[in-house]
A and B are shown apart, each in its own frame.
Chain A
Amino acid sequence: MDTTQTKDIYTEEFLINMGPQHPSTHGVLYLELKLDGEIIRECTPHIGYLHRSIEKISENRTYTQFIPFTDRLDYVASMNNNLGYVMAVEKLLNLEVPERTKYIRVIVAELNRIASHLIAVGTFAQDLGAFATPLFYCFREREKIVDIFDQICGNRLTYNYMRIGGVQFDLPKGIDEKIKEFISYMRPKVDDYDNLLTYNTIFLARSKHIGVLSKELAINYSVTGPNLRASGVKWDLRKDEPYLVYDKFEFDIPIGENGDAWDRYKVRIEEIRQSLRIVEQAIDALPEGDPTVKVGRIHKPSPSETYFRTENPRGELGFYIVSDGSVYPYRLKIRSPSFSNLAVLPELVKGLKVADIVCVLGSFDILMGEIDR
């Protein structure tokens, strides 16, 4: 087409609603996009479509009664949420837990990290157009992990397994063989994903140099988790502020170079490998004992406050608990990782095409349950 003829064509900005119900918004997220042709000029996220007032609920539940609600925050990584909350309350009460509990907590938390990263990788690949095949592979692997959790605590998604001072049940007999079998099954499967996706030409073309997040912007926006590590910042709470028994295990922290969508995906694949290493070491070193709760179920901490953060698959989950001496918390604030991770989205998508916003959103791996709480 002769370009001299297009100078007089009248164009204007076009408003598109990538509404709460959309297959690729990973939950109920509403993005208001101002487009100039196919290029995005402005993007405004609107959240709150899953605001279930969990913080208000916490003011009328005892500390133990609140544990099922923490499951429903980041519902794909329930064990990690439970862990963060329970450890924050234990810090408030100055409670020590038995050694076996710590190892069991590490094992289930890392298995859940693998399950969560599998979902992240599967849905990211589906968003980019590899419709259903990586997703079904990832869900097949996830079913194996979920089976193990089913035998440990009876549920597939919202486990409610941790308790203040311990865990709900001891591991059943024979579960360590099943976990070892899973580890040896999973290792070649991660190499499969590498062969299938990581260096695939179309995958590279769609995700390399898209949504580049620089180090300074990431730290200023308080982005945490694999997104921060993909931008080149070597920060992981399991190594820098170790809790439970993470300092006894050997594992690496993968970091990326450019901070684009491909790096974020690659960091997650490497983290699956490192989590398998941690689980293997933890299963071998599991001490004997009784990990269930010995203290009562109703707790009355002294009037004080505490803040504790753990490394969730999506970032740093923090619980700020204020107690006034009664059995109910006075104020419980949940600092969710995806909330801060999503805030940086409008800056990253300026100048990209509409198809790329799906890629950036998928690589960020957000979950509306913990954004809206």
Chain B
Amino acid sequence: MRPDEVSVVIKAKFPEVKEEAGTNNIIVSKESLLEVAQYLKNPPLALDNLHCITAIDRKEKMELVYILYSIREHYGVTLKVYLTSEDLNVASLSALWKSANWLEREVYDLFGIIFSGHPDLRRILNPYDWKGYPLRKDYSSPEFIAKPRL
């Protein structure tokens, strides 16, 4: 299935999703994320592989990126969810794809986004009593020595 065909199929079922300008990424609102994800996992779209979850700190808002692939149908889809800085809360997809378990823990550890419904949301890479969310742009700590920029 080609990327533009996918967004047509998804838009037919969920008219409120948008496409990001210039790319084939699909922007989903955080309330409908779980529903859209369930629809994507079932046939005919059959996106059975949640490949990667990551987040980007855009200062006023947080961008959550989900990269999904289908091994049977040989195509992929990228979902994006925008979260405001006051409300960093989104539904967890670990009931649908088990790979989301550790990937969401990593995003929580590094960015501080809370995934409601996650079975075991604690830090994974940093020590369990670490303070702060390191990959945010405003992170600072005494041991952090920044390299002088070019």
Contact = CB atoms under 8 A, between A and B. Distances in A.
B22 A304 contact: yes
A320 B22 contact: no
Contact of A219 (B23, B71, B78, B110): B71
A219 B48 contact: yes
Interface stretch (A19-27, A71-79, A83-91, A330-338): A330-338
Contacts of B51: 222, 309, 316, 318, 335
Interface residues of B, number: 34
Nearest to B50: A222
Contacts of B67: 307, 318, 320, 335
A69 to B, nearest CB: 12
A343 B125 contact: no
A133 interface: no
Contacts of A372: 125
Interface in A229-277: 233, 235, 240-241
Interface of B is mostly: loop
Interface residues of A, number: 37
Contact of B98 (A221, A305, A327): A221
A62 interface: yes
A292 interface: no
B126 interface: yes
B147 interface: yes
Contacts of B50: 222
B44 interface: no
B102 A340 contact: yes
A48 B98 contact: no
Contacts, number: 79
Contacts of B146: 60
Of B67, B102, B127, B149, the most chain A CB neighbours within 10 A belong to B102
B27 to A, nearest CB: 13
A51 interface: yes
B150 A327 contact: yes
A220 interface: yes
A339 interface: yes
Given A47-B124, A51-B125, A233-B71, A60 B149 contact: yes
Interface of B: 22-23, 48-52, 54, 56-57, 65, 67, 71, 74, 78, 97-99, 101-103, 106, 110, 123-127, 134-135, 146-147, 149-150
Given A48-B124, A62-B150, 13 more contacts: A51-B126, A55-B135, A219-B48, A219-B71, A220-B48, A220-B97, A222-B50, A235-B71, A307-B52, A307-B67, A331-B57, A335-B51, A340-B102
30 contacts: A47-B124, A47-B125, A48-B126, A48-B127, A51-B125, A55-B135, A56-B134, A56-B135, A60-B146, A60-B149, A61-B147, A62-B150, A219-B48, A219-B49, A221-B99, A233-B71, A304-B23, A316-B51, A320-B52, A320-B54, A320-B67, A330-B56, A331-B54, A333-B65, A335-B51, A335-B52, A335-B54, A340-B102, A343-B98, A373-B125
